[in-house]
Structure 1
Amino acid sequence: MRSRRRSLACGAAALGLALAGAALSAPSAAAASDNYIAFEHNAGSLIDTCYEWKGSAGIESKNYCQHDRPIGTSWKGYFPAEATGVTVTVYWTGGSKPLYINEADKNHCYKLEGTLVSGIHVLDVAC
């Protein structure tokens, strides 16, 4: 009887450790295909945004750039459904800023402000 209880206790402990390990190694949340990164452009330069998606093998084939966005425009980049994150690099004349986004399961919004003389700023704003 005592050895049966001990083996049940060991089995329960092993199962608990296996479940805890599975929870800790679970992949980060993937994006829904309607989640986006939005930009509102009020800065004094044409802007390019380039997206390097993070996720399963092959997702790099979905990388792309949006070029020559003029002042006063807004645009979005939509997460591929299998994305777990992205590095978006914002380029302007004479400078750039990378944005590292690891939360693909929600929207992200940015405002671009400033001039080439005073400096261009990429501000994280509420969506």
Structure 2
Amino acid sequence: MAIDPRNPGASYLGFWREYHMCTLTTPRPDGTPHVVAVGVTYDPEGGEKGIARVITNKHSRKVAHVLAAGPGGAKVAVCQVDKGRWATLEGIATIRTEPDVVADAVARYADRYGRTPAPNPDRVVIEIALTRAMGRA
């Protein structure tokens, strides 16, 4: 079911506020999908159509895949599932390294997942400018 990423409805947004591990799918340079488990935060008020964020190490494969897509970013998806409920956010990912952006993403992660990650000088944010949302929550 299609959902407006800027106005997702209370149950969909609530589902993204619960503690769930998610997957991030990025394209490898050969076009095949690379899927990894991540923590995701969803901000429907961010950007033009909402933003999803993943904090990670700048040396990770997922970061390399986003960077390999070029300055326009990579088409990616994040997804979470809980029994019959599911939610997917799609968009264009770019890498953000600014300290204030990273600190904001870490705070959002801590709020959703109930713990603050250990400091990491190599931490970056995969910021996803949303283009589509779907699911059943």
**Same fold by TM (over 0.5)?**
no
Name the larger-Rg structure: 1
TM-score by length of 2: 0.32
Determine which structure has greater relative contact order: mean sequence separation of CA pairs < 8 Å that are 6+ residues apart, divided by chain length. Answer: 2
